[in-house]
Amino acid sequence: MREENQSSTQGFILLGFTSQQKQEDVFFILFLFIYPITLIGNLLIILAIHSDVCLHNPMYFFLANLSFVDILFSSVTIPKMLANHILGTKAISFGGCLAQMDLMLALGNTDSYILAVMAYDRAVAISRPLHYTTIISLRCCVLLVVGSWVIGNANSLPHTLLTASLSFCGNHEVANFYCDITPLLKLSCSDIQFNVKMMYLGVVVFSVPLICITISYVRVFATVLRVPSTKGMLKAFSTCGSHLTVVSLYYGTVMGMYFRPLNSYNLKDAVITVMYTAVTPALNPFIYSLRNRDMKAALGKLFSQRISS
């Protein structure tokens, strides 16, 4: 009991990316540039979609939701990292650390479920175009989005509560720039067997969307290949290309993050962590708006409206 009290008053130390101050400064400057880009880019996507009636359809509503999750996702870790660097501290409170861990898991899961919803939406649009509006109804959209949030939180809260009940009696140094579940478990002096088992279950829940995405794209490609017309193929690739790019970026970096030995953490891992926490959320708006004519038109309208008013 005394040990738990101690940890809840003591908080944790975020070691950062590397042990070298120079590299730490480079990461600080990188985040200082990327974070505003993430905020502005994703906000513009949401504003453009909501202000243009041409984009009032499920595909774009899901994209707006993805942008919203990305804004929150990068806001959980980056502002704290920037503030700590400026204030010259590495401290985070016990509660702050658990909140960070919980939100990162919840938003990461929600993100991947929304990516799956987007893939399902494309699969229905391409393989059953005549039934699209009846299958992906407004009610269905809301259900899919709410479902993504519920599953996201359901797959983070148990891990947070289990981590909160551990004792941290010795080392309080988290080997990352934010509180992540694996470095936290490593620090505990309690028996973490059950936590690790639950984590494997969490990985399974997290991987379900990847299976849905694969099935959706198999359907998309089967449909496109069955009726091989250049026009159909171009349409399929233009609507799915951006999404596939984002999916690969996201899952590529997640696997780089979590499929590695617990005790290795070097510059390469730091770069992957930066990709996962900062670069991917910043890139999504560009991937979608640079390749998409309707998105570009909506952004153009958004700016001309603002200028004329």
Binding residues for ligand NAG (CB under 6 A): 46, 61, 64-65, 68, 141-142, 145
For the CB of residue 293, give the shortest distance to ligand NAG in the complex, in Å: 20
Nearer to ligand NAG, 63 or 247 (CB): 63
CB atoms within 10 A of CB 159: 21
For the CB of residue 292, give the shortest distance to ligand NAG in the complex, in Å: 16
CB distance 144 to 122 below 8 Å? no
Residue burial 1-34, b: 16+ Cβ < 10 Å; e: rest: eeebeebeeebbbbbbbbeeeeebeebbeebeeb
For the CB of residue 77, give the shortest distance to ligand NAG in the complex, in Å: 21
Nearer to ligand NAG, 152 or 183 (CB): 152
CB distance 70 to 146 below 8 Å? no
Nearer to ligand NAG, 68 or 251 (CB): 68
Joined together, the tokens standing for residue 71 give: 């804004």
Rounded CA-CA distance 167/13 in Å is 16
In the complex, residue closest to ligand NAG by CB: 64
CB distance 141 to 58 below 8 Å? yes
For the CB of residue 157, give the shortest distance to ligand NAG in the complex, in Å: 22
Nearer to ligand NAG, 141 or 184 (CB): 141
For the CB of residue 276, give the shortest distance to ligand NAG in the complex, in Å: 22
Nearer to ligand NAG, 38 or 188 (CB): 38
